[in-house]
Amino acid sequence: MRLKAGVEALRSNLVAENSNNSAAHDVRIADSVRVGDLDITYSEAGAGARPFVMIHGFTGSRDDFADVLTNVATQGQTIVPDLRGHGGTTNPGQGYDFDQLCLDLLGFLDALNISKCDLLGHSLGGMIALRFVLKHPERVHSLVLMDTSDASHRTRPGWPERILKFAFRRLPASWNIRALRANQHRLPEPAQRAALEMGTDRYWNRLRTKLEAMDPMAFDALLNEIMKQEGVTHRLGEILCPTLVMVGDQDAAFRKPSQRMADQIANAELVILKDAHHSPQIETPAQWLSAIAKHLERARASTEVR
């Protein structure tokens, strides 16, 4: 019941937010596309011969890009799917590992007849994107690695894994959100600012909806995957496509891995976004959009559209 209610709320939020957007007619909320054992839900905007696919992070959904989707789509067709166990996509109770998530992405591109794309991954999505481009370099025109890491990543100090898992599995999402909201003064300053600019009710309702839609088994398994993964640092030199590594200047946990990835990927550019933390597309959207537009212009000028 919790998962179904979360999915329906997520769909309602997206429809309402896009209907309030002046470019809402450019956005299509697709029911789903069948990929293996999943019905993958996605949002789409814009048109063009070279799709830009954006992959959200852990506990997120395509809603993470809802406020910037139509702006990005001025650059061409832009597609944002929900990962397995997140958002409106099927919660199958299994397959929550990097190998399967890469297979899901491959099947998703095939189902939409996308032979090659520009690919962005945020946080967990960036870890997936890194592995996808290493497995299938022929499917990626260019890469954006956003607030992510090439190696294992521990949770923040003071938040042991067992506490996070207990809170998610045993407590209602509404309770967790109330607890977080009561302590929002402890959030990083960019997140506090984003909540005020978005509207605190909308900000926290969006987060609650995403948590309600997420499969608890995905939370457990993917938290393990993030913290105990076998890194790909030793393979970064194999990535040859134009790459943008972007990170918020206040996202301390990901500054060092971002610098390392930019140093070791041959055709990479590092952009540090001022006054941003872990979700710059929400915290500093104008700055984020500018960096994305410059990257796509550079990448599309340097590679042949197929």
Q: What is the CATH number of the domain that holds 52?
A: 3.40.50.1820
* Domain interval for residue 111: 2-302
pTM of the model: 0.85
Average pLDDT for residues 85-94, to the nearest whole number?
A: 94
Q: 279 in helix, strand or coil?
A: coil
Find the largest Cα–Cα distance for the chain: 51
> Lowest-confidence range among 164-173, 178-187, 251-260, 266-275?
164-173
Share of the chain above pLDDT 90, in %: 62
Report how many domains make up the chain.
Answer: 1
Average pLDDT for residues 40-44, to the nearest whole number?
A: 96
> Lowest-confidence range among 50-64, 76-90, 97-111, 142-156?
142-156
Contacts of 70 (CB under 8 A, 6+ apart): 21, 23, 24, 26, 27, 45, 46
Establish how many alpha carbons lie within 13 A of residue 6's alpha carbon, considering only the half-sphere containing its beta carbon: 28
For the stretch 207-247, pLDDT in tens is 888 988 999 889 889 988 988 888 999 999 999 999 999 99
The full DSSP string for 59-121 is T--GGGGTTTHHHHGGGS-EEEEPPTTSTTS---S---SHHHHHHHHHHHHHHTT-SSEEEEE
Residues in the chain: 306
Tokens of 304: 């042949």
Share of the chain above pLDDT 70, in %: 80
**Could you tell me whether strands 117-122 and 52-55 are parallel, antiparallel, or unpaired per DSSP bridges?**
parallel
For the stretch 54-80, pLDDT in tens is 999 999 999 999 999 999 999 999 999
- pLDDT-derived band at 21 (thresholds 50, 70, 90) equals very low
Tokens of 214: 């997420």
Of residues 58, 40, 74, 51, the one with CA closest to residue 120: 51
Contact 254, 148 (CB under 8 A): yes
